[in-house]
Amino acid sequence: MPGPFDGLRIVDVTTVFVGPYASQLLGDMGADVIKIEAPDGDLTRSAGPRANPGMPANFMQLNRNKRAIALDLKTDGGARALRKLIRKADVFVHNMRPEPLARLGFDYAQVKKLKPDIVYCNIWGFGRAGRYAGRPAYDDVIQAASGLVALEAFGGKPARYVPSLIADKTTGLFAAYAIAAALFHQLKTGEGQEVEVPMFESMVSFTMIEHLWGESFIPARDRAGSKRHATPLRWPYATADGFICALPGSDRHWRAFLKSAGREDIWDNPVVATRATRSDNAEAVLAIMAEIMATRTTAQWVEALTEAGIPFMPISTLDDVVADPHLADVGFWHEFDHPSEGRIRLMNPPFSLSRTPAKITRPPPRFAEHTRAVLAEFGYGEAEIQRLIDAGAVIAATEDDSHKS
β strands within 149-263, DSSP E? 193-198, 237-238, 243-246
Q: What is the CA radius of gyration of the chain?
A: 25
Angle (nearest 5°) at CA 217 between 216 and 220: 100
CB 227 within 8 A of CB 281: no
Task: Tell which CATH classification among 3.40.50.10540, 3.40.50.1360, 3.40.50.2300, 3.40.1380.20 matches the domain 9-206+345-401.
Answer: 3.40.50.10540
pLDDT digits (tens, 9 = 90+) for 141-171: 999 999 999 988 776 778 899 999 999 999 9
* Protein fold of 237-314: formyl-coa transferase, domain 3 (3.30.1540)
Q: Look at the pTM and tell me if it is higher than 0.75.
A: yes
Residue 123 CA neighbour count, 13 Å, CB half:
34
| Topology agreement, domain 9-206+345-401 and domain 237-314 | no
Residue ranges in the chain modelled with pLDDT below 50: 400, 402-405
Q: Where are the domains of the chain?
A: 9-206+345-401, 237-314
pLDDT digits (tens, 9 = 90+) for 188-218: 999 999 999 999 999 999 999 999 999 999 9
In this prediction, residue 76 carries a pLDDT of 98
β strands within 232-383, DSSP E? 237-238, 243-246, 312-314, 333-338, 342-347
SS3 content of the chain, % helix, strand, coil (to 5): 45, 15, 40
In this prediction, residue 155 carries a pLDDT of 67
